[in-house]
Amino acid sequence: MIKHVLWTALLGLMTCATPTVLAEDNLRDFVLGSPCFNCHGDGSPKGNGIPAISSYDAAGLAAALKAFRSGERHSTVMQRLALGYSDDDIEALSAWLAGQQQ
């Protein structure tokens, strides 16, 4: 029960921390892509040692996520995250993220 409450609170914080106005037509992309900001910041490095991703375009993000997912690119956490996304998810969230960073 406490775990459930904590996860719900965490999800709420993750959603509130994003700088995006939610529109119905990009809800799926928002849900997939917005958690990235929690670690990577919304354009500049957060000073937490995690690299900023604001310089990536959509194709670069998609390529990086697929390389993390396959294990071709070494990572500590990114492979675990990327394994949760299908190719379609990766293309959609990469395009959405790149659009947020312009």
Query: Contact residues for ligand HEC (CB under 6 A)?
Result: 33, 35-36, 38-40, 50-51, 53, 56, 61, 64-65, 75-78, 81, 93, 97
CB of 5 to ligand HEC, least distance (A): 21
Distance between CA atoms of residues 56 and 18, nearest Å: 18
Residue with tokens 């969230």: 93
Supply the minimum distance, in Å, between the C-beta of residue 26 and ligand HEC: 15
User: From the CB of 43, what's the least distance to ligand HEC, in Å?
Assistant: 14
Pick the closer one to ligand HEC by CB: 26 or 93. Answer: 93
* Helix ranges (DSSP H) in the chain: 2-16, 27-33, 36-40, 58-70, 78-82, 87-100
Nearer Cβ to ligand HEC (39/95): 39
Q: Are 62 and 51 in contact (CB under 8 A)?
A: no
